[in-house]
Amino acid sequence: MKDQHAANAARQDEAATLYIKALSPLHLGSGQADVNVDAEVIHDDAGLPYFPAKRFKGLLYESALEVAEMSELSGLNLLAKEEIDALFHRGCAGEAQLIIPKLYLEDQAAMHESWAYLEEAFPALFQPSDVLESYTSLRYQTKIDRETGTAADTSLHNMRVVDAGLCFKGEIEIVDGNRRAWEILVLALRNLSEAGLKRTRGFGHIACSMERDGKDILSPILQDVLAQAEGGRQ
Protein backbone atom coordinates (compact mmCIF):
# COMPACT_ATOMS: atom_id res chain seq x y z
CA MET A 1 0.00 0.00 0.00
CA LYS A 2 2.87 2.36 0.81
CA ASP A 3 4.42 1.69 -2.61
CA GLN A 4 1.11 2.50 -4.31
CA HIS A 5 0.83 5.80 -2.41
CA ALA A 6 4.39 6.64 -3.43
CA ALA A 7 3.60 5.89 -7.07
CA ASN A 8 0.53 8.11 -6.95
CA ALA A 9 2.52 10.94 -5.38
CA ALA A 10 5.20 10.63 -8.05
CA ARG A 11 2.60 11.25 -10.73
CA GLN A 12 1.52 14.55 -9.22
CA ASP A 13 2.74 17.97 -10.35
CA GLU A 14 4.26 16.56 -13.52
CA ALA A 15 5.08 18.69 -16.54
CA ALA A 16 5.67 17.94 -20.18
CA THR A 17 6.81 19.86 -23.24
CA LEU A 18 4.03 20.59 -25.71
CA TYR A 19 4.67 21.22 -29.41
CA ILE A 20 2.28 22.70 -31.94
CA LYS A 21 3.43 22.65 -35.55
CA ALA A 22 1.67 24.74 -38.20
CA LEU A 23 0.98 22.40 -41.13
CA SER A 24 -0.60 25.22 -43.12
CA PRO A 25 -0.70 29.02 -42.77
CA LEU A 26 -2.18 29.85 -39.37
CA HIS A 27 -4.02 33.01 -38.34
CA LEU A 28 -3.70 33.73 -34.63
CA GLY A 29 -5.63 36.97 -34.56
CA SER A 30 -4.69 39.82 -32.26
CA GLY A 31 -7.98 41.69 -32.78
CA GLN A 32 -5.99 44.63 -34.10
CA ALA A 33 -5.70 46.21 -37.54
CA ASP A 34 -4.03 49.20 -39.20
CA VAL A 35 -3.95 50.91 -42.57
CA ASN A 36 -1.91 48.06 -44.06
CA VAL A 37 -3.26 44.94 -42.35
CA ASP A 38 -6.95 44.21 -41.78
CA ALA A 39 -6.38 41.27 -39.41
CA GLU A 40 -3.09 41.20 -37.53
CA VAL A 41 -1.33 38.24 -35.89
CA ILE A 42 -0.71 38.36 -32.15
CA HIS A 43 2.98 38.88 -31.32
CA ASP A 44 5.29 39.96 -28.52
CA ASP A 45 7.11 43.26 -28.13
CA ALA A 46 9.96 42.14 -30.40
CA GLY A 47 7.58 41.07 -33.19
CA LEU A 48 7.68 37.30 -32.62
CA PRO A 49 4.31 35.54 -33.02
CA TYR A 50 3.07 33.28 -30.23
CA PHE A 51 0.09 31.05 -29.38
CA PRO A 52 -2.06 32.58 -26.57
CA ALA A 53 -2.52 30.27 -23.58
CA LYS A 54 -6.21 31.01 -22.98
CA ARG A 55 -7.05 30.47 -26.64
CA PHE A 56 -5.23 27.14 -26.79
CA LYS A 57 -6.84 25.93 -23.56
CA GLY A 58 -10.25 26.74 -25.05
CA LEU A 59 -9.40 24.74 -28.16
CA LEU A 60 -8.33 21.80 -26.01
CA TYR A 61 -11.59 21.89 -24.07
CA GLU A 62 -13.64 21.91 -27.28
CA SER A 63 -11.53 19.06 -28.65
CA ALA A 64 -12.06 16.97 -25.51
CA LEU A 65 -15.82 17.47 -25.79
CA GLU A 66 -15.67 16.23 -29.39
CA VAL A 67 -13.85 13.10 -28.23
CA ALA A 68 -16.50 12.53 -25.55
CA GLU A 69 -19.26 12.83 -28.14
CA MET A 70 -17.52 10.51 -30.59
CA SER A 71 -16.76 7.96 -27.90
CA GLU A 72 -20.40 7.92 -26.80
CA LEU A 73 -21.57 7.35 -30.38
CA SER A 74 -19.03 4.59 -30.91
CA GLY A 75 -19.58 2.92 -27.57
CA LEU A 76 -15.91 3.13 -26.60
CA ASN A 77 -16.52 5.13 -23.41
CA LEU A 78 -13.27 7.07 -23.73
CA LEU A 79 -14.33 10.25 -21.96
CA ALA A 80 -17.20 11.70 -19.96
CA LYS A 81 -18.13 15.37 -20.03
CA GLU A 82 -18.10 15.52 -16.25
CA GLU A 83 -14.41 14.61 -15.96
CA ILE A 84 -13.53 17.03 -18.77
CA ASP A 85 -15.32 19.86 -16.99
CA ALA A 86 -13.51 18.95 -13.76
CA LEU A 87 -10.06 19.08 -15.38
CA PHE A 88 -10.75 22.33 -17.22
CA HIS A 89 -12.69 23.82 -14.27
CA ARG A 90 -15.80 24.47 -16.35
CA GLY A 91 -18.70 24.80 -13.94
CA CYS A 92 -16.99 22.58 -11.38
CA ALA A 93 -13.54 22.44 -9.84
CA GLY A 94 -11.67 19.15 -9.77
CA GLU A 95 -8.57 18.46 -7.71
CA ALA A 96 -6.25 18.59 -10.72
CA GLN A 97 -5.24 21.95 -12.17
CA LEU A 98 -4.26 22.16 -15.83
CA ILE A 99 -1.68 24.91 -16.42
CA ILE A 100 -1.00 26.00 -19.99
CA PRO A 101 1.40 28.87 -20.67
CA LYS A 102 1.79 30.98 -23.77
CA LEU A 103 3.37 28.86 -26.49
CA TYR A 104 6.35 30.49 -28.14
CA LEU A 105 8.43 29.68 -31.19
CA GLU A 106 11.25 27.23 -30.57
CA ASP A 107 14.38 29.09 -29.36
CA GLN A 108 12.17 32.11 -28.70
CA ALA A 109 14.28 33.35 -25.79
CA ALA A 110 17.45 33.54 -27.88
CA MET A 111 15.61 35.02 -30.85
CA HIS A 112 13.89 37.62 -28.68
CA GLU A 113 17.20 38.70 -27.19
CA SER A 114 18.84 39.00 -30.62
CA TRP A 115 15.96 40.87 -32.27
CA ALA A 116 15.49 43.18 -29.28
CA TYR A 117 19.19 44.08 -29.40
CA LEU A 118 19.04 44.87 -33.12
CA GLU A 119 15.86 46.91 -32.71
CA GLU A 120 17.47 48.99 -29.96
CA ALA A 121 20.86 49.35 -31.66
CA PHE A 122 19.58 49.97 -35.19
CA PRO A 123 16.02 51.33 -34.94
CA ALA A 124 16.11 52.70 -38.48
CA LEU A 125 16.72 49.19 -39.85
CA PHE A 126 14.89 46.90 -37.43
CA GLN A 127 11.37 47.30 -36.06
CA PRO A 128 9.00 44.70 -34.54
CA SER A 129 6.96 44.89 -37.75
CA ASP A 130 10.03 43.84 -39.74
CA VAL A 131 10.60 40.89 -37.40
CA LEU A 132 6.97 39.83 -37.69
CA GLU A 133 7.22 39.81 -41.48
CA SER A 134 10.09 37.32 -41.20
CA TYR A 135 7.76 34.68 -39.73
CA THR A 136 4.46 35.59 -41.37
CA SER A 137 2.81 36.39 -44.71
CA LEU A 138 -0.12 38.47 -45.91
CA ARG A 139 -3.01 36.74 -47.64
CA TYR A 140 -5.50 38.73 -49.73
CA GLN A 141 -9.13 37.83 -50.32
CA THR A 142 -12.04 39.42 -52.10
CA LYS A 143 -15.77 38.80 -52.28
CA ILE A 144 -17.27 37.83 -55.63
CA ASP A 145 -20.49 39.54 -56.74
CA ARG A 146 -22.84 36.67 -57.67
CA GLU A 147 -24.70 38.74 -60.24
CA THR A 148 -21.69 40.02 -62.16
CA GLY A 149 -19.19 37.28 -61.37
CA THR A 150 -16.56 39.91 -60.62
CA ALA A 151 -14.96 41.20 -57.45
CA ALA A 152 -17.35 43.28 -55.38
CA ASP A 153 -16.37 46.88 -54.84
CA THR A 154 -14.35 47.62 -51.69
CA SER A 155 -14.33 43.90 -50.81
CA LEU A 156 -10.55 43.36 -51.00
CA HIS A 157 -9.07 42.69 -47.58
CA ASN A 158 -6.08 40.91 -46.13
CA MET A 159 -4.98 39.04 -43.04
CA ARG A 160 -1.61 38.08 -41.69
CA VAL A 161 -0.84 34.41 -41.13
CA VAL A 162 1.95 32.54 -39.40
CA ASP A 163 3.94 30.65 -42.03
CA ALA A 164 3.50 26.90 -42.35
CA GLY A 165 6.30 24.86 -40.82
CA LEU A 166 6.79 27.01 -37.73
CA CYS A 167 6.58 25.23 -34.39
CA PHE A 168 5.43 26.59 -31.03
CA LYS A 169 6.36 25.01 -27.70
CA GLY A 170 5.75 25.41 -24.00
CA GLU A 171 5.73 23.53 -20.70
CA ILE A 172 2.30 22.17 -19.86
CA GLU A 173 1.63 21.07 -16.28
CA ILE A 174 -1.06 19.24 -14.34
CA VAL A 175 -0.88 20.08 -10.64
CA ASP A 176 -2.32 17.50 -8.23
CA GLY A 177 -3.17 15.35 -11.25
CA ASN A 178 -3.03 11.63 -11.89
CA ARG A 179 -2.81 9.28 -14.84
CA ARG A 180 -6.43 9.91 -15.84
CA ALA A 181 -5.86 13.67 -16.10
CA TRP A 182 -3.02 13.05 -18.55
CA GLU A 183 -5.20 10.63 -20.51
CA ILE A 184 -7.87 13.31 -20.95
CA LEU A 185 -5.23 15.79 -22.09
CA VAL A 186 -3.73 13.31 -24.56
CA LEU A 187 -7.10 12.50 -26.12
CA ALA A 188 -7.83 16.21 -26.54
CA LEU A 189 -4.41 16.87 -28.09
CA ARG A 190 -4.65 13.93 -30.49
CA ASN A 191 -8.04 15.10 -31.74
CA LEU A 192 -7.01 18.75 -32.11
CA SER A 193 -6.05 19.40 -35.72
CA GLU A 194 -7.24 22.95 -36.47
CA ALA A 195 -6.87 26.41 -34.96
CA GLY A 196 -7.37 30.03 -35.92
CA LEU A 197 -9.57 31.51 -38.65
CA LYS A 198 -10.46 30.34 -42.17
CA ARG A 199 -10.18 26.66 -41.25
CA THR A 200 -12.48 25.69 -44.12
CA ARG A 201 -10.25 27.60 -46.57
CA GLY A 202 -7.10 25.53 -46.02
CA PHE A 203 -5.77 27.55 -43.10
CA GLY A 204 -5.10 26.54 -39.52
CA HIS A 205 -4.06 22.89 -39.82
CA ILE A 206 -1.86 21.94 -36.88
CA ALA A 207 -0.22 18.88 -35.35
CA CYS A 208 0.26 18.47 -31.60
CA SER A 209 2.86 16.36 -29.82
CA MET A 210 4.07 16.07 -26.24
CA GLU A 211 7.36 14.94 -24.74
CA ARG A 212 8.93 14.40 -21.35
CA ASP A 213 12.71 14.20 -21.04
CA GLY A 214 12.93 14.22 -24.83
CA LYS A 215 10.70 11.16 -25.26
CA ASP A 216 7.24 11.02 -26.82
CA ILE A 217 4.57 10.46 -24.16
CA LEU A 218 1.48 11.22 -26.23
CA SER A 219 1.53 8.05 -28.36
CA PRO A 220 2.11 5.53 -25.51
CA ILE A 221 -0.63 7.04 -23.33
CA LEU A 222 -3.01 7.16 -26.30
CA GLN A 223 -2.35 3.50 -27.14
CA ASP A 224 -3.03 2.48 -23.53
CA VAL A 225 -6.30 4.42 -23.42
CA LEU A 226 -7.55 2.95 -26.69
CA ALA A 227 -6.56 -0.57 -25.62
CA GLN A 228 -8.42 -0.20 -22.32
CA ALA A 229 -11.50 1.13 -24.11
CA GLU A 230 -11.49 -1.73 -26.59
CA GLY A 231 -11.07 -4.23 -23.78
CA GLY A 232 -13.97 -2.73 -21.86
CA ARG A 233 -16.26 -2.99 -24.87
CA GLN A 234 -15.59 -6.69 -25.43
Residue 2: pLDDT above 60? no
pTM for this prediction: 0.84
**Beta bridge partners of residue 99, listed in sequence order:** 173
Query: Which pLDDT belongs to residue 234?
Result: 57
Residue 12 CB coordination number (10 Å) = 14
Q: State pLDDT tens for residues 162-189.
A: 999 999 999 999 999 899 999 999 999 9
> pLDDT tens digits, residue range 94-139?
789 999 999 999 889 999 999 999 999 999 999 999 999 999 999 8
Integer Cα distance of 94 and 87 in angstroms: 6
What is residue 75's predicted lDDT score, i.e. its pLDDT?
80
Element (H, E) at 34: none
Q: What is the distance between the alpha carbons of residues 10 and 68, in angstroms, rounded to a whole number? A: 28
